[in-house]
Amino acid sequence: MSNHNYYNAPPYQHYYQQAHSMMPPLGQVQPQYEEEEDQQNVQQYADESDVIPTNMRQLRACLTCGLVKTTDQFKANGCENCSNKDDDPLNNTSTSFEGLICLMNPSKSWVARYQNLQDKVEGVYAITVHGSTTE
């Protein structure tokens, strides 16, 4: 008879072992998409990195629409939603904001409708932006 049995195992270890045995090996998991259109959209958004922050440092939010990008991205492209693309991004953006919303399909998203973002470009948006323009 074995010394290791159900009662000698650390708590919940048997649940972990059972769940782990049902998982596919790493590297063999493929994302599941409900529609082919969703798969194409994911690739499109991955390619459009100018509206998705490239890192989590030096983030700024547009004071007008709330689009969140890095300082370098705002300097290079301005805000894709607003007409202030040629203006100084430091005057039209703020580093003080709260919450993040990631929109991949604003025209179909109930969150976009609730936040009045349904006519904006795909990207990351701040829920609340603090600050004002220096003009």
Give the pLDDT confidence of 75-89 residue by residue, as tens digits. Answer: 888 888 887 656 777
Asked if residue 16 belongs to a domain, the reply is no
Structural domain count of the chain: 1
Asked if residue 2 belongs to a domain, the reply is no
Average pLDDT over residues 51-66: 87
* pLDDT exceeds cutoff 80 at 27: no
For residues 107 and 100, give the distance between their C-alpha atoms in angstroms, rounded to a whole number.
18
Asked if residue 108 belongs to a domain, the reply is yes
Task: Say which amino acid occupies 124.
Answer: V
Task: Write out the residue range of the structural domain in which residue 95 sits.
Answer: 49-129
Against a cut of 0.85, is the pTM above it?
no
- Side-chain-facing half-sphere of 66: CA atoms under 13 Å: 22
* Position 132 confidence tier, pLDDT thresholds 50, 70, 90: confident
CATH for 69: 3.30.40.210
- Dihedral, CA atoms, 69, 73, 78, 79, nearest 10 degrees? -20
Phi, psi of 97 (to 5 degrees): -150, 165
**Helix spans in 6-130 (H):** 13-22, 36-47, 71-77, 89-92, 110-114
